[in-house]
Each structure stands twice: as C-alpha cells, then as structure tokens.
Amino acid sequence: MTCNKQPNELIHEQSPYLRQHAWNPVLWLPWGEKAIEKANREQKPIFLSSGYSTCHWCHVMEKECFENPSVAEILNSCFVPVKVDREERPDIDRLYMTYVQATTGSGGWPMSVWLTPDLKPFYGGGYFPPEDRYGRPGFVSLLHALCRAWKEDRKQLIYVADSMMDQLAGFSTPAPGKGKPDTTALDRAASLLTGQFDPVYGGFGPAPKFPRPSVLSFLFRYGYYTGKDEIASLGLFTLRKMAEGGIHDHLGAEGTGGGGFCRYSTDARWHIPHFEKMLYDNAQLAIAYLEAYQLTSDRLFAETAQDIFNYLLCDMLSPGGGFFSAEDADSAPERATDEKKEGAFYTWTSDEIDNILDPDEQRVFRFHYHIETNGNVIEDPHGEFGGKNILFARETITETAHHAFVSEQQCRTLLESSKQKLLAQRLKRPRPARDEKIITGWNGLVLSALARGSRVLEDHRLLEHAETTAAFMLEHLVTPEGELYRRHCNGQSAIPGKADDYAFMIRGLLDLYEASLERDYLAEAIRLQESMDRLFLDMEHGGYYNAPSTDASLPVRMKDDFDGAEPSANSVAVENLARLWTITEDEQWHQKAEHTLACFSSVLDEDSSRLPHMLNGLFLLRFPAYRLQLRGNRNDDRFGQLKRVVDRRLLADVSLDYDEKTGTASGPAEAILCGNGLCHPPATGPDELENLLSATLKAYSC
C-alpha cells in the first residue's frame, strides 16, 4: 500500500521484503554503513526490524504501525529505523534473535530490536500491536518510553547493552566439551525424541508443529544403523500424518502446479497451517519422503515426493533454472478487493465446492476431505477461517469408497477429477505474492532433492533439472574470485555468501555427483569446501562461523548450533566432510569433521536432539563408512542395472564414486565396495551386488 508520496531508501534495494516497505512513511534505511554512521552522528538509537516478505505477522505490523504517519513520526524523530530481510542477512538476524530469545524467552518474526549506535541491543521483542493487545505492550507507548529512556537514562541503557553484548560474544561459540562425541549422543537423541513424539498425530511436541526434516532424517538413520525399526517408524508415521493434513496442499496436478507443503501447522493434527510455502521446507521434505519410500516401498511416500517436485518445478522455478524463495500466506479473496487474508487462496466454503463438483464427486470428495457445511476449522483464535474448509484427508481411500458405495478405483478417479476442477477454479483467484529472490543455500537444498529424486524415482527429468540448477548457480551465484553470493534477484547477484550457502551447495553438488557420476561436480564441491574452510572455519577451536570475518557491520559472528527449519551449516559441514573423506580418502577432511564435532561436544552432551543432522555425520565417523565405486561404460545397460540396485535403497553408510578412466572400457560393468579396512571382490551383476550389500551393510526395512 502506498502511504508516502516519496519512497524511502529501500526503493533502491532488490529484496522484495525491503521494497514492500519502500513507500512507508517510516524513513527506513537498509543495514549498512550509512545507517550506522547516521546513528553515530545524530546519537540516536537504531530501531532494527527484521522479517521476510511472506511473513504474515510482518504484514500485520506494517499495516498497523509502519503505514501509520503518527507512528512513523515518532520512529523518524527518535530513532534511526533500519530494515533487514532475514533471508538475505541470516547472520544479523541470528545475532539479535539470540538476544531476543535470551531476554524474552521466545522469538519470531517480525523481530524488533533497539540498538545503541555501536550496534549493542538494549531492548527487543517480536510483533507489537499499535496499542496494548494480546498481552503485549503497544508499539506507540513503547516507542515513547524508549525515546524518553534514551534521553534521560542513556548511561543505564548503554550499561545494559554492553553487558548483553558481552553475553552474546560468549554465545558466539559453544563452551568446550569433555572430548570427542561418541555414540551415546545418538542414543540420547533417540530417547529424547521418542519422549516428545505424538503417538496420535505424529510430530514432536505440542502445537504449533513444524516439520523439522533433520529429525526425520536422523530417525531413519538411527533405525538403519541399530535395526530399531520402531524408532524410524516415528518418522514414517509423522510423514503419513503430514501428507494427510491441511499443511499439505492437496490440489496438485502434474504439469500445472499446486501441491507441496506449507510452513507449519498451528494445531496438533497438522490440519490448520500457516499458509506460506517456503522453498527450504519443500526441498527437505522431498528428501524425507524419498527416504521413507526407500525404506518402505510404500507408494504414498513416492507420490508425495513427486507432488513436491511438481510444485517446485511448476510454481517456484525461475526461467533461468534457479528456484524462488517463498509464496505468501496472504492473498486477496477475490480480484475486486486489495484486502488480503490468510489462506484465502487455499480455503473453500461448502457452497463453492458443491457449485464446482457434480453429485458423485461431491459425495466422495466431501467425505474424504472432511468438508463441513459451516466449515471444518475448529481452532481459529483470530477468527480468520469462519465458514471455510481446509482440505484434510481424514479418511482412507478404502473408507471413502465404502462410504460412497464405489470401488476403490472409482473413488480415486472421482477424487482426481474433483481436484482437477477445484485447482482450475483456484487458479482464477488472485495468487499469493511470490518472493523471487534466489537464495544460494536454499537452491543447494533443492539441488540435493532433485538429484536424489532422479535416483530414487528413476526420473531422468529430475536429473536434467538438477544439472540446469547447478549450471545456474555456478554461473550466477559464484563471484569472479570463486566465492559465493548469498542471493540473485532481478538479474543482480549480491551479498557475500554465508556458511550455510556453502554447506548446502556443497551437499547439493555431492548429491548431484552421485546421481550423474560427472566428476566435475565432485571437483567443484571440493573447491567450495576449501573456500568455506578459508572463510568460516575456526582453526583453533573448530566449527564454522556463520559469516566471514570481513563484514565490519556485524559486531559478533556466531557458530550455529541448532538444526531447526534448516539444518545448521556446521551440521551439514560435518556430513559433507565425512563424505569427502570416504570418497577421496584424503585425511584432511576427516580431521576437520572431527574438529567440528569436538567444537559442539558440549551441546551434544547437554541435548543431542538439538543437532540431529550433525548426528548423521557422527554415524559416518563412528561406524564403518563405505565407498562403492562403479566402473565401466555408463551407457551400458549392465552399468545401469548396477546403479539402480544402489539408487533404490537407503544406504546411509555408502558414498557412491565413479572411476571415469573406465568410461570407455569394453569389459563388463562392475561395482567395488570398500570400507572397514577391506575391498570386496567386484560385483558384476545386479543380484550379486544386491547380495553383497545385504551381507555387508546394515540391513534395514520397515
């Protein structure tokens, strides 16, 4: 909404989130030297507001506060207002979010923090309503109080800020541990997660429920290595419940779009989502569903992974081959209004469904997806979904067919035709806004998903898309000096890459190497790992800082020590280093992996479930890890048969390698398995390789 006749300086930014605020009457500045210099020159505190373009409560606070001229007047006169896109600058966001969480006990976006001119925080929180509401102080009264305190009690605020910055510096790296983490960390994490598991609806802990794919990946590997299928089954049950729930967009059609998963569920049943769709969630969930399919051969998991890929390729793919960041939760219910509402694109009234579907389709669809005349949303604290239905696959195909007196095949046909009709109607609605930043790290996650999907689903098109994405990243997201940019937007690449950009892209290139067996991808992964070590590695204490040391505007660099919506750079780095060691047998990668693990030993001792993805790397370092080298002509059918044996199984302790010197050999294709101190005789046929893997590796299935 245009609230100011002249734009502020955010109009010059590329970030969609920052540009959303360019016409606010608040005189926003982007984070950087100009804002810091202004704060020091005028001796005003900085008001730092961090969020992202698809954040629902960020939109609410903008409408209530930042578009209000009287609020803007206070901000402009008493503070230096600074906007940060947390997706562009996760390092800044992480630093001050640590402060907010430490002082308030919670965190979220928008994040609101007040800083001294030398960037030390003295007050913070999240969303603030304009007046006292929801048990939160009103933003206007808070601004007046902080403005008055800065004028009348500045020394005390500076003292508090100095003290907090000292604490943040202490938080920047984990406390030293007692030694190298051992396998007891794996057992403790499995026990903690089992205790948090919801046996009725799946997931871990109470609502709101977040997918957290790193947990699912760890549970699958714990089952693989220990044979305790009851632990892996926690992840499988969770994925089934998520696929049934409203967090899953059930209206996906191949080649058309839709489908995929929303950010999180506000209720315990996965029924009522927060409707934004994030690239990083869907990339990681695609991998989780692929691994579940490898473990079980249950087509539900394969079909859900295919649904996610369809969403990514239809709705999130840029013309050049990179993937956009996110889709908004809010949109206009109809084209005649600009007023946006949460979930308007995805929800349905009972009458809308009846007007679109024929009677046979209604009978099946309404029962299967729990459609109620007055709406099916029970928990609606903000009154956003009155009379609306959120699709929720409450019943099985068998139960629905029995209810409708049709065969299961007829039931599937009627459900599919219903979804096609509803999707066609939905596409006539105003779409949610899409954030068209291309984030390096998140594209690395998609690269991993596409590469793995091409193997598990035997879909060469996914491999082609993975190679196109890799080519885009190597062309547009690598600097002339060979380092990474953080993002590409509107044809411009900018912002030095963060540690997670390197870790996720390296992982994607390793996965693409195993899918394509093109050795250039392995070489590029090694080159980027060397750059990551140079820019981020703490050579003395181990572990990777989240930002390079060259950024003077960042007062403290942090070492991320939590695998949340995204795995931490350190966790992925441990796994990457272990894989590089297995493939290349270069001891430097082993040493760096162990050094990084040791840096986080105190965290793993205290609560190893904080770092489930790091535990995946711990498996590779504490149990035998194997290299399976394929030899022969890749165009030979026998070569393809050997590779398919490997691709269809979850082999958590195997890294795939290819001897390119044998690419033109006329002899039989063969696979050589090496690990645990020996190399086995070559396997030349699929049955022989299957038997070798079953006899040698940890055999696991659910």
In 43-130, alpha helices (H) = 56-61, 69-78, 90-104
Query: If we measure between CA atoms, which residue out of 190, 180, 308, 176 comes closest to residue 616?
Result: 190
Distances 189 to 216, 231, 418, 557 between C-alpha atoms, Å: 12, 11, 43, 27
Query: Would 214 be classed as within a structural domain?
Result: no
> Phi/psi of residue 114, each to 5°?
-105, 130
Could you tell me how many residues make up the chain?
Answer: 702
What's the CATH number where 104 sits?
A: 3.40.30.10
Whole-number pLDDT of residue 198: 98
Cβ–Cβ < 8 Å for 143, 75: yes
Q: Find tokens 């890890």 and name the residue.
A: 625
CA–CA gap between residue 441 and residue 497 (Å, rounded): 9
Q: Find tokens 């210099």 and name the residue.
A: 37
What is the edge-to-edge ordering of all strands in the sheet holding 438-439? 438-439, 485-489, 492-496
Residue ending a domain, among 382, 403, 428, is: 428
Tokens standing for 508?
């994607």
Query: Would 256 be classed as within a structural domain?
Result: no
Cβ–Cβ < 8 Å for 210, 281: no
CA–CA gap between residue 50 and residue 125 (Å, rounded): 11
Q: What is the mean pLDDT of each run of 10 residues along the chain (702 residues)?
A: 75 96 97 96 98 93 96 97 97 96 93 97 95 83 96 95 92 82 96 98 96 97 96 98 98 96 96 96 98 97 98 97 96 83 96 97 97 94 91 95 96 97 96 97 98 98 98 97 96 97 98 97 98 96 93 90 96 98 97 96 96 98 96 93 96 95 78 95 96 79 38
Query: Would 546 be classed as within a structural domain?
Result: no
Query: Would 368 be classed as within a structural domain?
Result: yes
Q: Packing angle between helix 213-226 and helix 279-296, nearest 10 degrees? A: 20
Cβ–Cβ < 8 Å for 251, 424: no
User: Which residues lie closer than 8 Å to 292 by C-beta, 6 or more apart?
Assistant: 216, 220, 235, 236, 239, 298, 301
Query: Would 56 be classed as within a structural domain?
Result: yes
Q: How many domains would you assign to the chain?
A: 3
Q: How would you class 663 by CB atoms within 10 Å of its CB: exposed for 0-12, middle for 13-18, buried for 19 or more?
A: middle
CA–CA gap between residue 502 and residue 450 (Å, rounded): 18
CA–CA gap between residue 214 and residue 218 (Å, rounded): 6
What range does the domain containing 37 cover? 9-171
This prediction's pTM: 0.96
Cβ–Cβ < 8 Å for 32, 74: no
Query: Would 325 be classed as within a structural domain?
Result: no
CA–CA gap between residue 231 and residue 14 (Å, rounded): 45
Cβ–Cβ < 8 Å for 92, 113: no
Tell me which long-range contacts 682-687 makes (C-beta under 8 A, separation of at least 24).
Answer: 682/631, 683/642, 684/638, 685/638, 685/641, 685/642, 686/641, 686/642, 686/644, 686/645
Cβ–Cβ < 8 Å for 603, 611: yes
User: Which residues lie closer than 8 Å to 405 by C-beta, 6 or more apart?
Assistant: none
Query: If we measure between CA atoms, which residue out of 66, 38, 36 comes closest to residue 51?
Result: 66
DSSP 345: T
CA–CA gap between residue 518 and residue 252 (Å, rounded): 33
CA–CA gap between residue 634 and residue 655 (Å, rounded): 18
Distances 419 to 18, 270, 416 between C-alpha atoms, Å: 36, 20, 5
Tokens standing for 214?
């790193």
Cβ–Cβ < 8 Å for 532, 506: yes
CA–CA gap between residue 89 and residue 495 (Å, rounded): 8
User: Which residues lie closer than 8 Å to 635 by C-beta, 6 or more apart?
Assistant: none
Residue ending a domain, among 152, 171, 190, is: 171
Cβ–Cβ < 8 Å for 450, 291: no
Cβ–Cβ < 8 Å for 558, 171: yes
User: CA-based angle 610:615:618, to the nearest 5?
Assistant: 145
Query: Would 636 be classed as within a structural domain?
Result: yes
User: Which residues lie closer than 8 Å to 270 by C-beta, 6 or more apart?
Assistant: 201, 202, 203, 209, 241, 242, 244, 245, 246, 247, 248
Query: Would 379 be classed as within a structural domain?
Result: yes
Cβ–Cβ < 8 Å for 540, 80: no
DSSP 636: S
DSSP 641: H
In 3-state terms, what secondary structure has residue 29? strand
Tokens standing for 312?
């990514």
Residue ending a domain, among 171, 203, 223, is: 171
How far, rounded to the nearest angstrom, does the alpha carbon of residue 288 sit from its chain's CA centroid?
A: 12
Tokens standing for 541?
């204490």
User: Which residues lie closer than 8 Å to 51 by C-beta, 6 or more apart?
Assistant: 17, 58, 84, 85, 86, 109, 110, 111
